[in-house]
């Protein structure tokens, strides 16, 4: 016949139980950074924009060491690229890219892009290619997934990638210098330096 075992609570166990109560009952409050985007041609909080938007802020870009086309595409959700090298890449959003017939613009032939690339308000995509824009003094990178033809034209059926630069600040004179170095196996060391200067032109 089996006999049930009884365990007696010791003062130490009771003390630990009481000590853990505040940890369980106290809510944890996290301070989240508000991200402001211009996906709908006007500034709005990322939480209030009625379209599918993701964004990388300037702080995130600096922390990740993002400096070129391939770097920032890797960091963006649902965005990828494939092609024959710098300036020849095709962007994909949610796996969708160019499928329309060949077009020729200024003597350059290629597929009409389905993912639009913008630097501020300037479209940068070309038939069959995307410019490899060097990332410096960028405020944020925005991705609008899905058809965006109403605001961004026929080349944005799959979505839009927008590079938003920092705007001039008339309040003061300031600058910034960033330098970096990297190495790779069986290769030479690489170095880079970026500089930005803000100069007010009038009072």
What is the per-residue pLDDT for 56?
85
What is the per-residue pLDDT for 128?
54
85: pLDDT strictly greater than 70: no
Enumerate the β-bridge partners of residue 122: 119
- Residue spans of beta strands (DSSP E) within the chain: 36-37, 44-45, 53-57, 79-83, 89-93, 102-105, 108-111, 115-119, 122-123, 125-126, 129-130, 138-145, 159-165, 174-182, 190-198
pLDDT 10s digits, 136-158: 888 888 888 888 878 888 778 88
pLDDT confidence tier of residue 21, bands split at 50, 70 and 90? very low
Q: Decide if 67 contacts 134 (C-beta within 8 A).
A: yes
Among the residue ranges 121-125, 158-162, 165-169, the one predicted with the least confidence is 121-125
115: pLDDT strictly greater than 50: yes
CA proximity to 90, closest of 109, 118, 112, 68: 112
What is the per-residue pLDDT for 83?
67
Sign of CA dihedral 113, 95, 73, 154: positive
Query: Measuring CA to CA, how many Å separate 134 from each of 84, 100, 106, 119, 165?
Result: 18, 28, 23, 11, 12
What is the per-residue pLDDT for 20?
47
Please report, for the chain, the start and end positions of each structural domain, with discontinuous segments joined by +.
51-165
What is the per-residue pLDDT for 16?
45
What is the per-residue pLDDT for 98?
57
What is the per-residue pLDDT for 105?
47
- Report the percent of the chain where pLDDT is more than 90: 1
Sequence-ordered list of residues with C-beta below 8 angstroms from that of 37, at least 6 positions apart, any chain: 43, 44, 45, 46, 49, 53, 55, 140, 142
Mean pLDDT of the chain: 73
Name the CATH architecture for the domain at 51-165: Beta Complex (2.170)
pLDDT confidence tier of residue 92, bands split at 50, 70 and 90? confident
Q: For residue 178, how many other CB atoms are within 10 A of its CB?
A: 14
What is the per-residue pLDDT for 152?
83
Among the residue ranges 103-112, 145-154, 178-187, the one predicted with the least confidence is 103-112
Cα 45 from Cα 55, distance rounded (Å)? 11
What is the per-residue pLDDT for 59?
86
Q: For residue 75, how many other CB atoms are within 10 A of its CB?
A: 14
74: Cα separation from own chain's centroid: 9
């Amino acid at each position: 016949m089996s006999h049930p075992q009884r365990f007696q609570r010791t003062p130490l166990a009771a003390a630990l139980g009481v000590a853990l109560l505040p940890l369980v009952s106290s809510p944890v409050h996290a301070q989240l950074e508000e991200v402001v985007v211009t996906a709908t041609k006007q500034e709005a909080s990322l939480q209030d924009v009625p379209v599918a938007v993701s964004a990388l802020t300037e702080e995130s870009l600096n922390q990740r060491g993002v400096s070129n086309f391939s770097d920032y595409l890797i960091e963006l959700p649902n965005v990828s690229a494939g092609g024959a090298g710098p300036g020849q890449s095709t962007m994909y959003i949610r796996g969708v890219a160019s499928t329309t017939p060949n077009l020729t613009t200024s003597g350059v032939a290629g597929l009409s892009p389905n993912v639009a690339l913008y630097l501020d308000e300037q479209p940068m995509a070309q038939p069959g290619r995307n410019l490899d824009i060097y990332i410096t003094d960028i405020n944020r990178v925005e991705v609008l997934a899905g058809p965006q033809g109403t605001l961004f034209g026929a080349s944005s059926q799959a979505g839009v990638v927008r590079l938003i630069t920092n705007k001039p600040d008339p309040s003061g004179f300031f600058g910034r210098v960033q330098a970096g170095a990297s190495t790779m196996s069986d290769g030479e060391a690489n170095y880079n330096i970026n500089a930005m200067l803000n100069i007010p032109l009038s009072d």
